[in-house]
Structure 1
Amino acid sequence: MKGALSMNDSWIDEELGRRLKIGGEGTPQLVRARVDETLAALPTKRRVFRKVGYATIAACVAFGGLIGVSVMNPDVARAVRSLPVIGSVFEMLGDDGIRQSGEAGLSSRGNVTAEDQGITMTITEVLYDGVRLSIGYVIEGGDDLRPERAEMYVNGKSVNFSSGERGNKVDEGVYAGLIDYKTTEMLPDQFILKLEYSRMEDWENKVDGNPKTTKGNWSFAIPVKKLTDGVYVHTFSGNDAPRIQSKDVTLTARKVTFSPATTSVEVDMIEPTDIAEVPFHQNLFQLFDDRGVLFQFTGSTSHSQSNNGDKVRLTEYSLEFAPIGRIPEYLIIRPISDSFETGKNEHTAPLNQQQLPITLSLGEAGKLTASRIEFAADETKLYYDIEGDNPYEQAYNVWLEDDSGNKYKGMMPQLIEAEPGRYRFVMKLPQIDAQKRLTLSTIETKAPEVDKQLELKIPIH
């Protein structure tokens, strides 16, 4: 139902707007209205992730203030800079590592703006831990405007990077997003990062199927200091490197990094060139700690090399997962193939607060058990466990529906407890009348194809 969806989207918008709300009596009414409107109806897909090939660089974080290079309207500048955004874009769009780092105050307090062609871009938060550079931003000036790839310089030198992006558009011309940049070379512990965006893409207005582009100059100079507290790096070399071979494929661990924001594992895969390369989005890995707990996959980069006539191909992977929070005795890496598709089977059950817990069987995907629901004046919290091989994907595909057909879909579920085979989440949903008759619903998520023959144990101590 169209009305039902708008009810749910309205709550999400209000929540995002509360986190990114403009304050101050001097705020221009136009900017106040646009930011106070909806900050993005979260899409039904779990994320928008755009991989950009190797280009220029970035990696860093933040100390001190950020400096916008472009000149902008003073009234708009004052309004945008008044955004108390810490814990906003990172909290709303980030994975567990980014969200936890933002909540712990490890990200920089940005609010730096640049304006050109009537489009204002604000960098709100920045985080760099030596593995990932994450930037939160807000763009005002059009419907679903997103920055195209940047030119980046470290201390004036152009360097290479790959990147991934996710975000949500705002009804009244505001788009909030998060970009993860992955550097291809080591960076200094402290430096000036310059970002230059020369094109904005309008995904609401397409020409021949492509987003309409606006050329301009949105530049930022950012003092950066690498986060070092809580970072532990373990490097392997030569015969000491953990490796496993299955048939003609060899997997070797090179480096493991633990930080408050990320667990990073670098591995090499050698395989015959006559084996077709698996599409990037399908060739993934699972990470388990020494207790057997599975950690959320958050992103990766890869680079393959082989010459004509070579019989083998080397692929270097840099894999990123949610932070573990401790240094385990060992890790286990397991290659999987995942198309990110959901099954067609929808499972439902009446949700009666007096009859909790209730369990939905998901066939081969495992099961979902709702244990508690909390009704408040401004939101509803649903607590549930996922048992199965794909808990993080399954946890996202959960919603409630009332007897009038209104659907209530929440934001990104937050992991609150994990043990081998069982993962407990809480999802924030819009305010729901506790007297309504509710139905718990989920769509079965396909389990990934696992290659246990290439399961690699990586000792840490």
Structure 2
Amino acid sequence: MNEKKMDEMLSRLGREKTEVPDFFSKGLADALNNLPELPAAIPPRKSPRWPYVAGAVAVTTLCVIGSGFVSPAMAQVLREVPLIGSVFEKTGDPVLKDMSERGLTSQPQKIATDKGVEMTITDVFYDGSRLAIGYKLKPQNNQPLKVSSDLMPLQWKIGVKETDQIQWIGDAKEVARDNGEYVGKIDLNFEIEEKSLENFTLQLDVEAIHGVAGNWKFILPISMEKTAKASTTFRPMVTKKWNGMTYTVERVTFSPATTQVIVKRTVSKEKMNDFYYIGYDEHMKRMSGGPSSGSAPKDEGNGMVTITDTLKFAAMQDIPKQITIEALIPHQLGSGSKADEKSRQSTFITVPLTEKK
């Protein structure tokens, strides 16, 4: 709820003449008159005032709600007070919950309504590679939302005002609340050209909610301002040639939510889709990770192309002195046994982390 709307509601509340019933006034007066007196021998303690003020507000609120004479304006105000806490704290994602608690998310509170459904974008998290958008769905006129049989509750498309050089994969998950509303998140592995990496304007067009086609459009300013302060980026520029391919590790970023590695790969056109990576920490312990993706190929001539691969791994508690990237061909992975690991062909790229951005 914006400040203007709140001001209008409070102003309307102040103009209304709501009479307090006699039974309530008399009951309140009797309760005050029957309070026990403090013994004169006990000096009053010096305590902070705010807890008493908060307690008075809480008692007043209970009296107003429980008395049965709430004015229409006050009832509207109470209905429209937003939920306390972040949607990210309610969707079951521990990483996003932690990001919210650490103050690394923004709360745009953008609203669009169509087909009897109000959709609010409540939270956004972005660290340069992961873009998560929290939302709330509220049916109008107390009509329950249709339970969708689709794998994803939303269908959407996105664009960026500043550039068309973006790639993304993602999904949406949500949970139902007891009041008939839904809260959820759109979670994207997001890539954008570097000049627009830190700040851009996202156009989010939701085209269906729970299988019902409609039009819910949002313009969202996206920024790394909060997460950049908690992130560290290195530019190692380490190059390794193997099996007719050239790998260059250009950038490694440690954010509170992810570890991102950017690898530029020059290969023949026939091999450009044959790529797989495994990451290891400084103790050669395998790093857990999500999907890797490659950019559109850039033609280098002589049958060669250059592709920028984005590797996503889990966040690391401490920044290591180095990491190691194993590059291999997917069909050489085998069953994952120790015999397969010894026989498969791959190359290891040691990446010292000394040159910060």
**TM-score, length basis structure 1:** 0.48
Question: Which one of 254, 272, 296 corresponds to residue 258 of structure 1?
Answer: 254
Structure of greater Rg: 2
1:256 counterpart letter in structure 2: V
1:199 counterpart residue number:
207
Does 2:172 correspond to 1:167?
yes
Cα distance in 1 for residues equivalent to 2:280 and 2:79: 47
Task: Name the SS of the counterpart of 1:454 in structure 2.
Answer: strand
Identify if the C-alpha distance between structure 1 residues 199 and 337 changes in structure 2 by more than 3 Å, giving closer, same or farther.
farther
Q: What SS does the aligned partner of 1:271 have?
A: strand
Equivalent residue number for residue 413 of structure 1:
none
- Whether contact under 8 Å (1:169, 1:175) holds in the other structure is yes
Q: Point out 4+ residue stretches in structure 1 off by more than 6 angstroms.
A: 74-77, 447-450
Question: 1:242 Cα deviation (Å)?
Answer: 1.4
| Correspondence for 1:150 | 158
Structure number with higher helix proportion: 2
Alignment of 1:36-435 (within 5 A): 81-82=82-83, 84-88=85-89, 92-93=92-93, 96=95, 98-109=96-107, 111-140=109-138, 141-144=145-148, 145-153=153-161, 157=162, 159-170=164-175, 174=182, 176-180=184-188, 181-187=190-196, 193-200=201-208, 202=210, 214-222=213-221, 224=223, 226=225, 227-236=227-236, 241-275=237-271, 277-278=273-274, 283-307=275-299, 310-335=302-327
> Matches of 2:279 and 2:129 in 1, distance apart?
17
Q: Secondary structure at the match of 2:264?
A: strand
Deviation digits for residues 8-44 of structure 1, max 9, x if unmatched? xxxxxxxxxxxxxxxx99xxxxxxxxxxxxxxxxxxx
Q: Deviations over 1:160-212 (max 9, x none)?
A: 42222233355778462332232223237566x3534151264xxxxxxxxx5
What 5-or-longer segments of structure 2 have no aligned partner? 1-60, 63-74, 139-144
Q: Which residue of 1 aligns with 2:41?
A: none
Partner AA of 1:143 in structure 2: V
Retained in 2: the 8 A contact 1:249–1:271? yes
Task: For CA contacts below 8 A with separation 6 or more, give which structure has more relative contact order.
Answer: 1
Which protein has the bigger strand share? 1
CA contact (8 A) 2:128 2:224 kept: no
- Structure 2 CA distance for partners of 1:295 and 1:305, relative to 1, 3 Å: same
Identical positions, percent: 18
Structure 2 counterpart SS, 1:296 = coil
Q: How many residues align?
A: 265
Match of 1:454 in 2: 347
Give the TM-score normalised by the residue count of structure 2. Answer: 0.60
Distance 2:78 2:112 in 1: 8
The question of whether the paired residues in 2 share the 8 Å contact of 1:287 and 1:295 is answered with: yes
